[in-house]
Amino acid sequence: MAKARPHSGRSGHRRRNLLLAAALLSAALLLPAAMASAAVAAAAEGDGENRSRGAATQWATGKDEGELAAEREAAGGGSVVEDDFAGGFGSLDSMLQWAIGNSDPGRLKEEAADVQKLSEDELLKRRHEIKDLMEKLKMPSDADLMKIAIADLNNASISLEDRQRALQELLILVEPIDNANDLDKIGGLVPVIQDLNNANEEIRITSAWILGTASQNNALVQSQILGYGALARLVKMGYSTSAKEAAKAMYAISALIRNNVNGQEAFALENGNTMLQHILGSNSVDLRLQKKAVFLITDLADFQLNSGNSGLTFLSERVLLKSVTDMLSKFDLDLQEKVLLAIRSLLKLPSTDATDLESCGLDSVLYRLGVQLEELPSEEQKEYAGEVDALRREVEMLFQQKLKPGTATAAL
Ligand SMILES: *[C@@H]1O[C@H](CO)[C@@H](O)[C@H](O)[C@H]1NC(C)=O
Ligand SMILES: *[C@@H]1O[C@H](CO)[C@@H](O)[C@H](O)[C@H]1NC(C)=O
């Protein structure tokens, strides 16, 4: 994959600043230990630590922002789980480490020899020079970087490539919760939500991704995004024939309505259940997307169980139960496990009628699954199949208990 991308003047400028800072730090390294720590202290006075975090990540690794984000999503499996912020300069120390690794050893040696010849006065002068330079450099804060990206998004004449780059920068910048909280204040949510309607699929996908990342475990940002009515558009995106786009919409929806009663009500109002059934019922749909849909159903049912809130009546509707039950017939152990977890949670809902599940054929589907789990697994899948079978038995027992209270133990 081609790494070299043309950069707009501004992002090039930002990058140069950081490289300059790194060069400066490598120079500081050459000073005797006391001097080096003085340089570090000088930098810390200018709250270099606060500023370098987060924003510096993309430049530090030399990776494409999109790649980094993709890696992080792969690590989190795309589920609604807060990822640890891996990478980046955790401290000036790590920035120094990076500077060491990126310096030209020949030049370092040369300069080290020079440094040793300096008198105490000269060293002091050098220290002041470094401090002055650090101040002049003024590393941009995350808020500054977000403002630049947002200005780009609001610029109608920007190229598609620059728009995508601005979105990818935002995607990384909104990961720390403080930055996500600032996004609306500095006018970032509106242009990102507008880009959900962009004619370009990649732009739509990155926009949905930003909204999902910013709203994860963040009630404030959830309610801001819901307030702008973005959920309706995301539900429509869930029908996309592009599995990639639909999956990113599912990711954003899950983050947006997780543990959020208002969001879940809005989801029901937008007929989100029909979208879920579409994903589950369609044979042409990607398996990963179906797993995300099943996962969301489980999550919603669990929230209902734990909160005692019974707002989502569609969870107990026969048509949804049927779609979920039918998923058990797909030969994918991971999917089957997720479906069993969903059925277990749905069964526990007081509003779910076990006879509806009976009429969906749950009994025979569970039986067939049991036979399959016993016969089909290869050696390496045996243990996993055993776990799924234990879950299958648990669901069977819950089902029988709910169907005929009092006779459940006999059924096992
Ligand atoms: C760094 O950020 C924290 C939290 O945002 C703040 O409390 C602290 O004062 C900042 N440090 C400096 C040196 O500005
Ligand atoms: C908008 O983008 C165009 C093309 O990149 C640029 O020439 C122009 O200066 C930008 N306008 C503003 C207000 O930043």
Angle in degrees, 0-180, between the axes of helices 243-257 and 230-237, rounded to the nearest 10:
140
Tokens representing 311 are 């707002």
Q: Whose CA is nearest to atom 13 of ligand 2?
A: 155
A 10 A CB-CB count for 135 gives 12
pLDDT tens-digit readout, 127-143? 787 777 777 677 778 88
In Å, how far are 85, 340, 358, 392, 398 from 408, measured between CA atoms? 47, 18, 15, 15, 8
Whether 50 is in the pocket of ligand 1, judged by its Cβ within 6 Å, is: yes
Q: How many Å lie between the centroid of ligand 1 and the Cα of residue 47?
A: 7
Q: Which atom of ligand 1 is nearest to the CA of 44?
A: 13
Q: How many Å lie between the centroid of ligand 1 and the Cα of residue 108?
A: 33
When the pLDDT of each residue in the chain is averaged and rounded to a whole number, the result is: 78
Q: Whose CA is nearest to atom 4 of ligand 2?
A: 158
Domain membership flag for residue 81? no
Q: How many Å lie between the centroid of ligand 1 and the Cα of residue 91?
A: 13
pLDDT tens-digit readout, 84-119? 333 445 455 555 566 666 666 676 666 666 666 777
Single out the residue in 225, 259, 281 at which a domain terminates: 281
Shortest-distance ligand to the CA of residue 176:
1
**What's the CA gap between 56 and 181, in Å, rounded?**
19
Has residue 78 got a pLDDT over 70?
A: no
183 and 270 co-located in one domain = yes
Domain membership flag for residue 78? no
Has residue 286 got a pLDDT over 50?
A: yes
Question: In the prediction, which pLDDT does 199 show?
Answer: 96
* DSSP notation for 290-328: HHHHHHHHHHHHHHHHHH-----GGGG-HHHHHHHHHHT
125 and 149 co-located in one domain = no
A 10 A CB-CB count for 76 gives 15
pLDDT tens-digit readout, 337-352? 999 999 999 999 888 8
Has residue 405 got a pLDDT over 80?
A: no
**What's the CA gap between 247 and 290, in Å, rounded?**
9
- Read off the pTM: 0.67
Lowest mean pLDDT among 132-136, 248-252, 408-412: 408-412
* Domain enclosing residue 149, as ranges: 145-281
Question: In the prediction, which pLDDT does 51 show?
Answer: 43
Q: How many Å lie between the centroid of ligand 2 and the Cα of residue 398?
A: 62
Percent of the chain with pLDDT over 90: 42
Percent of the chain with pLDDT over 70: 68
Q: Which atom of ligand 1 is nearest to the CA of 178?
A: 5
Q: Show the ligand 2 pocket: residues with CB < 6 angstroms.
A: 151, 155, 157-158
Whether 41 is in the pocket of ligand 1, judged by its Cβ within 6 Å, is: no
Question: In the prediction, which pLDDT does 80 show?
Answer: 44
Has residue 360 got a pLDDT over 90?
A: no
pLDDT tens-digit readout, 19-75? 556 556 555 555 444 444 444 444 444 444 444 444 444 344 444 445 545 555 554
Q: How many Å lie between the centroid of ligand 1 and the Cα of residue 50?
A: 6
H/E element, 154: none
The residue with greater pLDDT, 50 or 151, is 151
166 and 271 co-located in one domain = yes
Whether 104 is in the pocket of ligand 1, judged by its Cβ within 6 Å, is: no
- pLDDT grade for 403, boundaries at 50, 70 and 90: confident
Has residue 385 got a pLDDT over 90?
A: no
Shortest-distance ligand to the CA of residue 45:
1
Q: Which atom of ligand 2 is nearest to the CA of 151?
A: 14
Total number of domains constituting the chain? 3
- Compute the average pLDDT of residues 358-371: 88
Domain membership flag for residue 304? no
Q: What angle do CA 382, 328, 347 make, to 5 degrees?
A: 110
Domain membership flag for residue 367? yes
Question: In the prediction, which pLDDT does 76 show?
Answer: 42
The residue with greater pLDDT, 320 or 135, is 320
Domain membership flag for residue 42? no
Q: How many Å lie between the centroid of ligand 2 and the Cα of residue 160?
A: 13
Domain membership flag for residue 176? yes
164 and 276 co-located in one domain = yes
Lowest mean pLDDT among 114-123, 142-151, 173-182, 351-360: 114-123
Query: Hey, which of 19-23, 322-326, 408-412 has the most confident mean pLDDT?
Result: 322-326
Q: Whose CA is nearest to atom 6 of ligand 1?
A: 50
- Compute the average pLDDT of residues 228-245: 95
Question: In the prediction, which pLDDT does 103 show?
Answer: 63
Whether 45 is in the pocket of ligand 1, judged by its Cβ within 6 Å, is: no
Q: Whose CA is nearest to atom 12 of ligand 2?
A: 155
Q: Which atom of ligand 1 is nearest to the CA of 45?
A: 13
- Compute the average pLDDT of residues 266-292: 90
Domain membership flag for residue 276? yes
375 and 266 co-located in one domain = no
272 and 330 co-located in one domain = no
Domain membership flag for residue 128? yes
Shortest-distance ligand to the CA of residue 182:
1
128 and 161 co-located in one domain = no
Phi-psi group of 361: left, alpha or beta (phi > 0 → left; psi -120 to 50 → alpha; rest → beta): left
Q: How many Å lie between the centroid of ligand 1 and the Cα of residue 52?
A: 12
Question: In the prediction, which pLDDT does 83 show?
Answer: 35
Question: In the prediction, which pLDDT does 23 show?
Answer: 59
262 and 359 co-located in one domain = no
The residue with greater pLDDT, 375 or 211, is 211
Has residue 194 got a pLDDT over 50?
A: yes
Tokens representing 211 are 């909204």
Whether 329 is in the pocket of ligand 1, judged by its Cβ within 6 Å, is: no
277 and 153 co-located in one domain = yes
